[in-house]
Amino acid sequence: MLQPFVADAIRIRVTGVVQGVGFRPFVWRLAHELELAGWVKNDAAGVEIHAEGAAAALNELERRVRDEAPPLARVDSVWVRPVAYEATAGFAIIASSGGRVSTAIGHDTAPCAACRAELFDPANRRYRHPFITCTHCGPRYTVTRRLPYDRPQTSLAPFPFCPDCQREYTDPADRRFHAETTCCPNCGPRLSLRDAAGQPIEGDPIAQTLALLKAGRIVAIKGLGGFHLACDARKAATVACLRERKQREEKPFAVMLGAVSPALTFAQLTGDDVALLESPERPIVLLPKLPATDALLPGCAPGLPEIGLMLPATPIQYLLFHDAPDMVLVMTSANPHGEPLVIGNAEALQRLAGIADAFLLHDRDIVVRCDDSVRRGTGFVRRARGYVPRKISLPRAVPPVIAVGGWFKNTICVTRGDEAFVSQHIGDLDNAAACGFFEESVAHLLHILDVEPAIVVHDLHPDFHSTRFAAAFAAERAIPGLGVQHHHAHIAAVCAEHGVREPVLGVALDGVGLGSDGTAWGGELLRVEGARFERLGHLRPLALPGGDIAAREPWRMAAAALHLLGRGDEIARRFADEPAAPMLATMLERGINSPFTSSAGRLFDAAAGLLGVRRRASFEGQAAMLLEGLAVRHGAIGACPDGWRIRDQILDLLPMLAHLEDCEDAAAGAAWFHATLAAALVDWLAEAAGRTGIRRVAAAGGCLLNRLLSAALRAGLAARGLELLEARALPPNDGGLALGQAWVAVNSAAGA
Ligand SMILES: [Zn+2]
Ligand SMILES: [Zn+2]
């Protein structure tokens, strides 16, 4: 046994997502298997290992630390250096040490297969335990206050281990060895069901919740990053009641199912969609509906081409579906009046009063508010639970900056070295509560990343809460602020995630954003290179009769199109039942309160208005979504080659709008609009590519969420030999803006 002369000693430093993922027990088991002595510990930089033993075994340790990391770990780097041999006895996991934080908290995941098996095994001591978790699964980001990731820093701190849990926690051979959020029915949090008045409902909370749901009641259920409002998705009256109480007239509701197989009744699924639904992050996946879906799930996503489905993400949700496998539940975020998601028990009873008939609560606090993520194919529509706080890798180390995003679908971004961290979806900054959540998120993100920003970046619009916050933040810390044009930021976000600093042609198809010239942009052709951009061209502007209200009333955009077509005299007749129609014609005629915008989003509205798809939108983007739904139902159609003109790099789609005005069949018109718009954009980009010699296109903006448009653009550009870069790591809409703002700032700082 005594062979000190053949032994070596090394220190291994591992960085990445290596805390809270079972990394130390994994190293412990490797060390035992390889008969090595030493220790492993967490610290603020990641994991450090001291190992002593035979040189071959040390090499093997280094290789396997790299190659065989646990499922939720992500190893970024492994540094090895020889150190003095200390004749350590045995191999131990030792206490964490503090220091400067430069590691990452893990993301929340659904229960792993092993935990799910135990959950429904009557012989297991965690049988039906609603908080079952292990080192490979469960809550992380939403329960962690600060690093290093240890139980006292999480919302499990008030639940000391019982002897059985303590034994598992300290047994390196156990799956729950150092599982910081583990607990059991003896020592863990507890479920409780309350009625609308907050009084306890007797009996088993799961069974009673199911009884309420089956009876058509609405139950607020505490999830990972906030509360959901749940009800039976097949009961038309119940769904209608939820809409009425939530005052969410027509926005689509996501639907939760117990497994993938029942999803086949409601949507078309590819193999990739199934993988996404079943992925540990458990996002809502937007899927094309089947013809019968609206009848089967009345009122969930009326008239829209897609429905959002998801599978259970927590043990509580698994318990509900285990006892009612055929159940189909509306699971919509509990965010009354567009305010941030409800996370606290008392807050739920108060803010959801009058909406929920009952409350399924528990006493494990949600520390960080985090909405469900929404995905479509390889892209994001909303990035939050399950994906945050994962980093986006940058091509090189950059100065520390904070970018505060825009107004709608706000997110923030902080850079650290060669990493960018984008916050969860915060929402529209149009109410005090959302602005509060925004400020909380800035503080939390800077705190957990331990970054002191050198620059604060914001939108050009002076009236956004985020812009005003940035000015105060810059003054307080005596650091520079930088305003970045909205559509430049959209294109820069795509460049950042693809690591591109060479020139690209950027096409931003978006709602309205403030342009560098003070006018309202939104359908832009830009040349973007690092921190610089040049506006090459734009869509031919349309008036916004009445200003901002035109964005909510597509018929006004249709009137603007008629006016531009020289058919303003038709407005009053065409929209005879709109009391404002005669006045609108006059306003357009005289240019009163009718600012112009090149926004592509408003072009969609004009088309929807002309085709009679929608007079008023009840939520942002609704008219465009309904138009897409009609086009999908109609099927593919060819573009009309005389639908557009390009003059001085201005893309004029007025001829197309004239066609739509005369179109009898709305579905055919919608299909033709999509085909023609895509063909026009490809033509526009190809011409710019010929002029500039730039063969690479970056496309972004909210309109890129349109599946038909983005597919046609992809195919059309490929056919012209142009390369297309799209948003993959973040949504193409304003949810990605902050990354682009940060990218512009770090490239400016580098003097690019
Ligand atoms: Zn597990
Ligand atoms: Zn216990």
Beta bridge partners of 359: 194, 220
Average pLDDT over residues 704-731: 96
Which pLDDT score is estimated for 1? 43
Which pLDDT score is estimated for 385? 97
Ligand 2 centre distance from Cα of residue 186 (Å): 5
Q: Which residues of 470-493 are buried (b: 16+ CB within 10 A; e: fewer)?
A: beebbeeeebebbbbbbbbbbbbb
Which pLDDT score is estimated for 4? 41
Ligand positioned closest to the Cα atom of 71:
1
Beta bridge partners of 192: 361
pLDDT band at 280 (very low <50, low <70, confident <90, very high): very high
Q: Whole-angstrom Cα distance, residue 489 to residue 482?
A: 12
Ligand 1 centre distance from Cα of residue 195 (Å): 32
Ligand positioned closest to the Cα atom of 139:
1
Ligand positioned closest to the Cα atom of 280:
1
Average pLDDT over residues 265-278: 96
Higher pLDDT, 10 or 88: 10
Q: Over 60: is that where the pLDDT of 115 sits?
A: yes
Ligand 2 centre distance from Cα of residue 126 (Å): 9
Ligand 2 centre distance from Cα of residue 316 (Å): 18
The structure's pTM equals 0.91
Ligand positioned closest to the Cα atom of 111:
1
Which pLDDT score is estimated for 279? 96
Ligand positioned closest to the Cα atom of 167:
2
Ligand 2 centre distance from Cα of residue 25 (Å): 19
pLDDT band at 749 (very low <50, low <70, confident <90, very high): low
Ligand 2 centre distance from Cα of residue 183 (Å): 5
Ligand 1 centre distance from Cα of residue 539 (Å): 52
Q: Over 70: is that where the pLDDT of 101 sits?
A: no
Ligand 1 centre distance from Cα of residue 358 (Å): 29
The domains spanning 4-93 and 386-486+734-749 adopt the same CATH topology: no
Q: Whole-angstrom Cα distance, residue 176 to residue 112?
A: 12
Q: Over 90: is that where the pLDDT of 72 sits?
A: no
Ligand 1 centre distance from Cα of residue 712 (Å): 42
Average pLDDT over residues 92-110: 74
Average pLDDT over residues 480-488: 97
Ligand 1 centre distance from Cα of residue 487 (Å): 43
Helix (H, G, I), strand (E, B) or coil at 681: helix
Ligand 1 centre distance from Cα of residue 230 (Å): 25
Ligand positioned closest to the Cα atom of 185:
2
User: What is the per-residue pLDDT across 196-244, written as a single tens digit (0 to 9) for each?
Assistant: 999 999 999 999 999 999 999 999 999 999 999 999 999 999 999 999 9
Which pLDDT score is estimated for 88? 83
Ligand 2 centre distance from Cα of residue 129 (Å): 11
Ligand 1 centre distance from Cα of residue 224 (Å): 15
DSSP letter (8 states) at residue 365: P
First and final CA of the chain: distance in angstroms? 61
Q: Over 90: is that where the pLDDT of 102 sits?
A: no
Ligand 2 centre distance from Cα of residue 166 (Å): 7
Average pLDDT over residues 5-12: 78
What residue spans define the domains of the chain?
A: 4-93, 191-375, 386-486+734-749, 506-725
Q: Whole-angstrom Cα distance, residue 532 to residue 539?
A: 21
Which pLDDT score is estimated for 99? 54
Ligand 2 centre distance from Cα of residue 182 (Å): 8
- Cβ atoms of 453 and 480 within 8 Å: the answer is no
Q: Which residues of 210-248 are buried (b: 16+ CB within 10 A; e: fewer)?
A: bebbeeebbbbbbbbbbbbbbbbbbbeebbebbbebbeb
Higher pLDDT, 70 or 357: 357
Tokens of 277: 């639904």
- Cβ atoms of 461 and 512 within 8 Å: the answer is no
| Residue located via tokens 């001291």 | 50
Ligand 2 centre distance from Cα of residue 283 (Å): 30
Q: Over 90: is that where the pLDDT of 246 sits?
A: no
CA 70 to chain centre: 25
Q: Whole-angstrom Cα distance, residue 639 to residue 708?
A: 13
Q: Containing H/E element for 30?
A: helix 23-33
Helix (H, G, I), strand (E, B) or coil at 679: helix
Average pLDDT over residues 364-391: 95
Ligand 1 centre distance from Cα of residue 390 (Å): 20
Which pLDDT score is estimated for 6? 54
Q: Considering the chain, what is the average pLDDT of its residues?
A: 93
Q: Which of 299-303, 590-594, 642-646 has the lowest mean pLDDT?
A: 299-303
Ligand 1 centre distance from Cα of residue 449 (Å): 26
The architecture (CATH level 2) of 506-725 comes to: 2-Layer Sandwich (3.30)
Ligand 2 centre distance from Cα of residue 293 (Å): 44
Whole-Å CA distances, 530 to 485, 499, 504, 725, 750: 14, 10, 9, 15, 10
Q: Over 80: is that where the pLDDT of 451 sits?
A: yes
pLDDT band at 114 (very low <50, low <70, confident <90, very high): very high
pLDDT band at 670 (very low <50, low <70, confident <90, very high): very high
User: What is the per-residue pLDDT across 538-587, written as a single tens digit (0 to 9) for each?
Assistant: 999 999 999 889 989 999 999 999 999 999 999 999 999 999 999 999 99
Average pLDDT over residues 698-703: 97
Number of H helices, E strands in the chain: 22, 29
Q: Over 80: is that where the pLDDT of 3 sits?
A: no
Name the most confidently modeled range: 95-104, 140-149, 357-366.
357-366
CB atoms within 10 A of CB 379: 20
**CATH for 4-93, options being 3.30.70.360, 1.20.140.10, 3.30.70.100, 3.40.50.1010:** 3.30.70.100
Ligand 2 centre distance from Cα of residue 19 (Å): 22
Show the 3-state SS of 692-736: HCCCEEEEECHHHHCHHHHHHHHHHHHHCCCEEECCCCCCCCHHH
Tokens of 644: 């557009």
Ligand positioned closest to the Cα atom of 133:
1
| Residue located via tokens 């929608």 | 614
| In the chain, % of residues over pLDDT 90 | 82
Q: Over 90: is that where the pLDDT of 500 sits?
A: yes
Average pLDDT over residues 254-263: 96
Report domain 386-486+734-749's class: alpha beta
Ligand 1 centre distance from Cα of residue 110 (Å): 8
Show the 3-state SS of 290-344: CCCHHHHCCCCCCCCCEEEEECCCCHHHHHHHHHCCCCEEEEEECCHHHCCCCCC
Give 163-199 as a DSSP string.
HHHHHHHH-TTSTTTT-TT---TTTS--EEEEETTSP
Q: Over 80: is that where the pLDDT of 718 sits?
A: yes
Calculated CA dihedral for residues 679, 685, 688, 693, nearest 10 degrees: -130
Which pLDDT score is estimated for 141? 94
Q: Which residues surround ligand 2, an ion (CB under 5 A)?
A: 162, 165, 184, 186-187
Ligand 2 centre distance from Cα of residue 168 (Å): 9
Ligand 1 centre distance from Cα of residue 119 (Å): 10
DSSP letter (8 states) at residue 424: P
Ligand 2 centre distance from Cα of residue 97 (Å): 26
Ligand 1 centre distance from Cα of residue 269 (Å): 27
Average pLDDT over residues 624-633: 92
Ligand positioned closest to the Cα atom of 135:
1
Which pLDDT score is estimated for 363? 96
User: What is the per-residue pLDDT across 283-332, written as a single tens digit (0 to 9) for each?
Assistant: 999 999 998 999 999 999 988 889 999 999 999 999 999 999 999 999 99
Tokens of 56: 């071959």
Q: How many residues does the chain have?
A: 752
- Cβ atoms of 34 and 60 within 8 Å: the answer is yes
Ligand 1 centre distance from Cα of residue 97 (Å): 26
The architecture (CATH level 2) of 191-375 comes to: Alpha-Beta Complex (3.90)
Ligand positioned closest to the Cα atom of 118:
1
